[in-house]
Structure 1
Amino acid sequence: MEKRDVPLCRPSIKQAEIDAVVETLKSGWLAHGEYNNKFEEAFAEMLGVPYAISMNSCTSALEVALKVAGITGEVILPSFTFVATANVVVTTGGVPVFCEVDGDTRNVTAETIAEKITPQTEAVIVVHYGGQPCRMDDVLKLCEDHGLLLIEDSAETIGATWNGKLAGSFGLGCFSFYPTKNITTAEGGLLTCYDEEINRKARALISHGIASTTLAREKVKRPWLRAAEMAGHNFRMPNPLAALGYHQLLRLDEMNAKRVALAQRYDRLLADQVPAVKAPVVVQGATHVFQMYTITVDETLRDGIVIYLRERGVGASVHFDPPVHLQPFYLDYYAGQVSLPVTEKLAKELITLPIYPDMSEVDQDWVVACLKEALREVEPI
């Protein structure tokens, strides 16, 4: 059987990023440093918010968002997400309440959130799935009407907009720079906010509860003085990774444009050659930056198709199966009482195809050809 190596994703790293990382390594300042400041300032300016706090992961950003806001009650979120979104609610003392998603966009809506609001609800975490923002006008109004904290898990949607406003700029924005994302710092994340006190608390929380940074203290007369004002963590992003992130951010529009072009080409190829699959839907009002390109197929064929593609060297995957509410910890947590039919159906039908900025048309043609073969060869389960 012929094979061609086409990974699910591959970071786009150019010489400018390499030079910047090497520069920081040679500088000797490897902890949180000047590049963190540059990265944060540039990200905040891009998003149109006053504050951005770089850290070691989006999971940490989500945890910090909940902690600085003092959330310990019910938090509504989708089950159709990576488990970290729910885990942070549990680890910070809250109660995750799973809501349904829209089958076409894989996103929560104001309607699916509203169904789960109770007197104990304190916050909502929306997850902008795969590169497309939720319908945020309705979600924002719902949260304001009910006095709920709005947190945006924008891990998969850096640079996309809803009605011209960037995802992550409606509430507390949480971003991921994992290598599969629209930009990368290898491992890393970032929190954005509008409130100065949230910014101050978040910066202390990620640095052992100490409000000042090592870099800032080096510029004062007695840099050894450091005192914790709260019990904090070490969630900081190192300077070399911030250097990588800063130079990646400069290329965000370019890389997202390549993702969009590849997605549009997938749309054309699939419509022409593999009409049995359903391509992703982009709703009016949204821009999509295609951190993932996901299709749906007959659930009796899905697993066989993914296995067939991987045997041919195509790094296809599934995001997400099982959904969070069907994972062992959460099955026990809710005694198997959560039922989300749309989410469960998506988890059985969805396939994530390879997409990344430097993907060649030859590789993309190979993915589509193998998908076409799989639909012909795979037997229903």
Structure 2
Amino acid sequence: MRLAHRVCAWQSGRTFGRAEHQPTHGGHVGRQPAEPLLPVSKALQPRAPARVAVADGGGNGAAQRTVGGPVDRSARHSRRSGQSPRRIPRDHSAHDCRSQLLGAPRRCCGTLTFSKTNLRSAVEDRIRLFRPTFGDAEKKALCDTIDSRWVGRGPQTIKFEERFSKYIGSSYAVSLNSATAALHLGLLCSEVEGQEVLTSTMTFVSSTEAILLAGGRPVFCDVEPDTLNISVDDMARKITPTTRAVIITHYGGQSCDMNSILELAAEHGLSVIEDAAHGCGGSYQGRALGSMGTIGCFSFQATKNMTTGEGGMLVTDDESIAKRVRKLRWCGITSPTWERFKVDQVQRGWMYDVEEVGWKYEMNDLAAALGLAQMDRLEDCNQRRRELMDRYRRAFADIDGIDMLASRDYAISSCYNAVVHLDNREGLFTHLDTCGIDSNVHFYPNHLFRIFRPYTTHLPVAEREWQRILSIPLYPDLTDGEQDRVIDAVRVFAHADTDHQSAVAG
């Protein structure tokens, strides 16, 4: 059986929003939709693509071909009429990046056809955007928990909370099933119902949805052009008498300007909620990200610096907040099951009370056991991320028109993602895809989503910069050789794009 794979948005003249690539998903090996992007409007369509010359990798000397060349549209009619499609003459001694991966499949009218065996090889050789790091320790932790026969919230979850609070430097840590749950409950404890909450537009959509879930009104702020972190100046302009809190997203693991933010919040009596979903292991002037605000929220989703599959953590120094969140995460129940029936419980009892409406946001012991094993490798993994990020910075330093997001001297980034700035983002996205390399956009500005139209405002920096950003592969198990493939692909595209612009100009 042979499969057909439509390639090259350049050739078809279309662009598509892509879902985030993640470790596993039942429907498509190696991909799991996580962060939906809207289709690119006609106003944002990329210009005509550069014709990228790709040297043959199959031992055929200097033979070259171009990516993004003409397609024989008459073939569509041929197929409909039952005739064999007319092949476009080409140099069969040359292959593009995907051809090398797929073992030189037959190309016909913009379509690659290849066998299941070659498809499997292509998937295995593809460089993913994110990938978790697991080993024997994680397997043992899961097996030990399964063997204990207690897989709901219990001893592993409590141990994880205690260890994480010490690591971050906060008095209390409450485990949850997502960072979204942490944001939601943190906002409830901040009493934002009917009040305004300042937030960055450059964040995952659940950060803003949590404000609505808590009954608040999101007020979108613009960002810094070189870090995509929230602009403190724009925050200051948008504070009103009804502003109750601010959500600070440490974009990509790079700390926001926390001293300025904390001073502004103290001046106006605002709660500061740190969205540290990207920031586990990062720091600001020696203090852990997530530990400086009223509340800190962490994500252990599959792509994050450490993962429990899905999971989150809320940290705080306020005992009353921690106590209420523990109650709200389990349907408002005052006494959870483990506390009433644990093995060493002297006096067991089935009775509990429910004091307010809550949610099923608890983490379970399987996830917590995985989290404990991940904490053992977090520092080493983050150090590897920083090494890879430094290699990217050095590799792209001499390329005009392509920049990495800035790093600040006052912070140590957790390096969650590697983001490049360039004008022809759509062209690079397509080129990397053709070369078997995943990339993605983080994020589509929240204030442009349909659901948030009642709160939409003009944010010139975010509206300009989101069209120029692309995340490229970054994870601890990315080898130097794989990173070199990414670097080479970006450099080939950058030089070809520059030549294309020069030719068009004159």
- TM-score strictly above 0.5: yes
2:493 alignment partner in structure 1 = 374
> 1:208·1:231 contact (CA, 8 Å) conserved in 2?
yes
In structure 2, C-alpha distance between the alignment counterparts of 1:373 and 1:5, rounded to whole Å: 18
Task: State which of 51, 58, 69 in structure 1 corresponds to 2:190.
Answer: 69
Deviation by residue 1:22-53 (Cα, 9 ceiling, x = unmatched)? 11112111100111111111110011111000
TM-score between the two structures when normalised by the length of structure 2: 0.72
> 1:200·1:211 contact (CA, 8 Å) conserved in 2?
no
Deviation by residue 1:45-80 (Cα, 9 ceiling, x = unmatched)? 011111000000000000000112221100000001
DSSP 3-state at the match of 2:199: strand
Q: Which amino acid aligns with 2:425?
A: R
DSSP 3-state at the match of 1:86: helix
Task: State which of 134, 148, 170 in structure 1 corresponds to 2:270.
Answer: 148
Q: Which amino acid aligns with 2:440?
A: S
In structure 2, C-alpha distance between the alignment counterparts of 1:227 and 1:311, rounded to whole Å: 58
How far 1:212 moved relative to its partner? 2.2
1:2-151 map, 5 Å: 2-3=97-98, 4-72=125-193, 73-151=195-273
Task: State which of 440, 443, 451 in structure 2 corresponds to 1:320.
Answer: 443
Task: State which of 158, 168, 171 in structure 1 corresponds to 2:290.
Answer: 168
Task: State which of 375, 396, 417 in structure 2 corresponds to 1:292.
Answer: 417
Task: State which of 401, 414, 421 in structure 2 corresponds to 1:276.
Answer: 401
In structure 1, C-alpha distance between the alignment counterparts of 2:139 and 2:400, rounded to whole Å: 42
Root-mean-square deviation over aligned CA pairs: 1.5
Task: State which of 312, 321, 325 in structure 2 corresponds to 1:189.
Answer: 312
How far 1:275 moved relative to its partner? 4.0
Task: State which of 157, 161, 166 in structure 1 corresponds to 2:279.
Answer: 157
In structure 2, C-alpha distance between the alignment counterparts of 1:46 and 1:139, rounded to whole Å: 23
Percent identical: 37
How far 1:276 moved relative to its partner? 2.8
Task: State which of 333, 354, 366 in structure 2 corresponds to 1:228.
Answer: 354
Q: Which amino acid aligns with 1:353?
A: I
Q: Which amino acid aligns with 2:166?
A: E
Task: State which of 211, 229, 240 in structure 1 corresponds to 2:334.
Answer: 211
In structure 1, C-alpha distance between the alignment counterparts of 2:215 and 2:228, rounded to whole Å: 27
In structure 2, C-alpha distance between the alignment counterparts of 1:220 and 1:122, rounded to whole Å: 44
In structure 2, C-alpha distance between the alignment counterparts of 1:346 and 1:225, rounded to whole Å: 55
In structure 2, C-alpha distance between the alignment counterparts of 1:318 and 1:199, rounded to whole Å: 35
In structure 2, C-alpha distance between the alignment counterparts of 1:146 and 1:186, rounded to whole Å: 38
1:220–1:227 CA distance, 2 compared to 1 (3 A): farther
In structure 2, C-alpha distance between the alignment counterparts of 1:91 and 1:198, rounded to whole Å: 18
Q: Does 1:258 pair with 2:356?
A: no
DSSP 3-state at the match of 1:75: strand
Q: Which amino acid aligns with 2:472?
A: L
In structure 1, C-alpha distance between the alignment counterparts of 2:247 and 2:224, rounded to whole Å: 15
In structure 2, C-alpha distance between the alignment counterparts of 1:223 and 1:257, rounded to whole Å: 47
In structure 1, C-alpha distance between the alignment counterparts of 2:474 and 2:279, rounded to whole Å: 14
2:21 alignment partner in structure 1 = none
> 1:188·1:237 contact (CA, 8 Å) conserved in 2?
yes
> 1:174·1:190 contact (CA, 8 Å) conserved in 2?
yes
2:393 alignment partner in structure 1 = 267
Q: Which amino acid aligns with 1:11?
A: P
Q: Which amino acid aligns with 2:415?
A: F
Larger radius of gyration: 2
DSSP 3-state at the match of 2:252: coil
Deviation by residue 1:92-122 (Cα, 9 ceiling, x = unmatched)? 1100000011111111143221111001100
In structure 1, C-alpha distance between the alignment counterparts of 2:474 and 2:206, rounded to whole Å: 23
> 2:221·2:231 contact (CA, 8 Å) conserved in 1?
no
Q: Which amino acid aligns with 2:153?
A: H
How far 1:311 moved relative to its partner? 2.0
How far 1:211 moved relative to its partner? 2.6
> 1:109·1:139 contact (CA, 8 Å) conserved in 2?
no
In structure 1, C-alpha distance between the alignment counterparts of 2:216 and 2:346, rounded to whole Å: 40
In structure 1, C-alpha distance between the alignment counterparts of 2:400 and 2:395, rounded to whole Å: 9
Task: State which of 286, 304, 308 in structure 1 corresponds to 2:431.
Answer: 308
How far 1:376 moved relative to its partner? 4.2
DSSP 3-state at the match of 1:52: strand
Count of matched residue positions in the alignment of Structure 1 and Structure 2: 374
How far 1:377 moved relative to its partner? 4.6
DSSP 3-state at the match of 1:115: helix
Where does structure 2 lack aligned partners over 5 or more consecutive residues? 1-95, 99-124
Task: State which of 359, 377, 380 in structure 1 corresponds to 2:478.
Answer: 359
